[in-house]
Amino acid sequence: METKDEAVRLTSLVKTSGCAAKLAPSLLRSVLDELPKFEPDGRLLVGFESADDALVYKIDERTGMIQTVDFFPPMVDDPFVFGQVAAANALSDIYAMGGTPAVAMNLLCFPSCLDISVMQRILEGGYSKVKEAGAIVAGGHTIADPTPKYGLCVTGFADPTRVWRNTGARPGDVLVLTKPLGAGILNTAIKADMASDDAKQAVIGWMTTLNRAAKEAAEGLDVHACTDITGFGLLGHGLEMAQGSSVTLVIDSTEVPLMPDVLELASMGIIPEGMYNNRDFAGPHVRFDPSVPQNLIDVLYDPQTSGGLLLSMAADEADIYERRMPSAVRIGRVEGATVPRTAAQEKVHVRVL
């Protein structure tokens, strides 16, 4: 007898998947910019003004509370793996702020066409990653919805004087990336049944890997700025870091690590809709060397799901970090802000060599 979960593939119920389902960053920013402003609160150390990964609220001189929320539609058909990826992605925002996750709450949208066992497996996958993070799940909220979605609201803690932000990159820093790019393209290929087994295993392996080790490898080091690379892609999140820090990021495209088969798939046009949104958002502020091929440009804009950390730090600190974190790759440097030649030109915040 065929059960509901055997009859319906999770990815068949969604148009966009993972972090590629995010709203276009330019649209989101236009809305946020028009919202009324709250009265300043001296305890709110980080809000949404700098497009950082999470809020930070000062409890006392030694305790800063970090909060984030993230959920999205499935990018894989295995419900347990979907739960793992969604949880790893939500937990990542805490790590990107230099914090330690403590407690999480589920956010789940579930369609009636799926067997209830699918819900259980999604939640079990999420629980497994929260447990791996050393945190606990303490409730949540569930609604009926034709499109399945899952994620977490996560609370973590850090020393308020040592919180990482995406606004502190300094000229002379080097840029270090801890996971390869290509998740959005590979997830699109998997949905179209065009991804190799090696590529499937690679992208699932990276998406289910917590950024806990990447954060812990930086303990005791002076991290000037950090963000995780998710739905806005390397160039979108890099642009937010550059603008928030009033600097220019210079990225060596030949050093950027990539997942298997990604360039070939991009050349075939197997790219998610989110890539175009990211290009529209960041494109006016990015300049590419003519030697950078189009398929690689597409990968640099590719929306990542549960991507790695992008850290800005001094070169000697990066040497130590790379020895501690085997997957970390130095992909560029930080320079002073580039001034446009004329008032009509957009300021270049990211250069890609």
3-state class percentages of the chain: helix first, strand second, coil last, to nearest 5? 40, 25, 40
What percentage of the chain carries pLDDT values higher than 70? 90
Strands (E), 201-300: 223-228, 247-251, 286-288
- What is the Cα 233 distance to its own chain's centre? 7
User: What is the spatial distance between Cα 67 and Cα 55, in angstroms, rounded to a whole number?
Assistant: 5
pLDDT at 344: 43
Residue 26 φ/ψ, nearest 5 degrees: -65, -40
189 pLDDT above the threshold of 50: yes
Residue 25: pLDDT band with limits 50, 70, 90:
low
The pTM of the full predicted model, rounded to 2 decimals, is 0.90
User: What is the spatial distance between Cα 227 and Cα 234, in angstroms, rounded to a whole number?
Assistant: 10
Amino acid in the structure at residue 287: R
Sheet-wide strand order for 247-251: 223-228, 309-313, 174-177, 329-336, 247-251, 350-352, 286-288
Neighbours of 92 (CB within 10 A): 32
Sheet-wide strand order for 149-158: 44-46, 55-60, 63-72, 149-158, 100-110, 136-144
Report angle CA 274, 275, 276 to the nearest 5 degrees.
90
Residue 44: pLDDT band with limits 50, 70, 90:
confident
pLDDT at 13: 74
pLDDT at 207: 97
Is residue 113 within 8 A of residue 81, CB to CB? The reply is no
Measured N-to-C along each axis, helices 25-32 and 273-282 cross at an angle, to the nearest 10 degrees, of 60
What CATH superfamily is the domain 4-158? PurM-like, N-terminal domain (3.30.1330.10)
> How do the domains of the chain map onto residue ranges?
4-158, 174-352
CATH class of 174-352: alpha beta
> Is 109 considered catalytic here?
no
Residue 92: pLDDT band with limits 50, 70, 90:
very high
As a whole number, the mean pLDDT across the chain is 90
pLDDT at 343: 45
pLDDT at 54: 81
Annotated catalytic residue, options 19, 113, 153, 226? 19
pLDDT digits (tens, 9 = 90+) for 157-170: 999 999 999 999 99
Separation in Å, CA 187 to CA 73, 74, 194, 230, 234:
12, 10, 10, 13, 17
User: What is the spatial distance between Cα 148 and Cα 119, in angstroms, rounded to a whole number?
Assistant: 9
pLDDT digits (tens, 9 = 90+) for 205-248: 999 999 999 999 999 999 999 999 999 999 999 999 999 999 99
pLDDT at 179: 98
pLDDT digits (tens, 9 = 90+) for 320-344: 999 999 999 999 999 998 655 544 4
